[in-house]
Structure 1
Amino acid sequence: MNKRCSESKKEAEDVRSLVHEVAELIGTFNLSDYIWFCCNLYLQGLRKRLEDLHVRFDAMAEKIMKEHEEVRDEKKREGTDTSAITTEWALAELINHPNIFEKAREEIDFVVGKSRLVEESDIQKLPYLHAIVKETLRLHPNKSPRVI
């Protein structure tokens, strides 16, 4: 909850009211806690207030969690989308330039071999592929992230 839980004055007042009611109910003497034959009578109406408070608190917590999930999902989507778009542009450029594609394939086969996939540790040994990524980012700056 690193940001405000409310967007309006009414929501802020609702949160304050909720916190106040929680504090009040915690400090209230409950007769049924001390007199065993009163435990199912609910003479003071505390159970109903507690259930109402529980529903309201859950709604507020659910709203906050949903907002955080939406922000997290949006950030995740942005990273995935931009990476996918960059990859698409790089592949489109390689398809349009088969000689460059062939040279990149030869570099990968020489450094990595044909028996395994390229790993992050291989990237430093693939300068031609690195140059292709840089060129893709240069040619399509508005459609891909500026990470290099």
Structure 2
Amino acid sequence: MEKRGVKIAAQNRKAHHDYFVEDKFEAGIELFGTEVKSIRAGTLNLKDSWCSIKNGEIFVNGMHISPYEKGNIFNRDPVRVRRLLMHRREIAKLHALVQQDGYALVPLSVYFKDARVKVEVGLCKGKKNYDKRDSMAKRDAQREMDRAMKQRR
């Protein structure tokens, strides 16, 4: 089989604004055929999605995959709960960490890896408003420095 590499389908930019990402994990996702075709078309939204752990299984909630245009009766509910595929030990480790105060599991991106859909799940800690303002100020300062360096050249 020929290697095709990684192609990012969607990213959750809001997650990096609202959370400190402490660790990242790769997981497969259980999808139907029309959902995969819809993701290939780029109709995926991770904005308000989160992950939950129940009975030793991990699920992603709030991920919106628009119905495939040519899917007719085979289309599923766009925001249905989807199961993520991870090793049992990884799920147990994440479950123990999420039980701690302030930790959440958030999907950071969805991508194709050798024709399979993968989800990057981040172990995140919530930011306070002053943290958000601080990170925005740092980003603006970096942008100003880059602009100044570009003008000097």
- With normalisation by structure 1, the TM-score equals 0.21
**TM-score normalised to the size of structure 2?**
0.20
Higher helix fraction (1 or 2): 1
Name the structure with the higher strand share: 2
**Which one has the largest radius of gyration?**
1
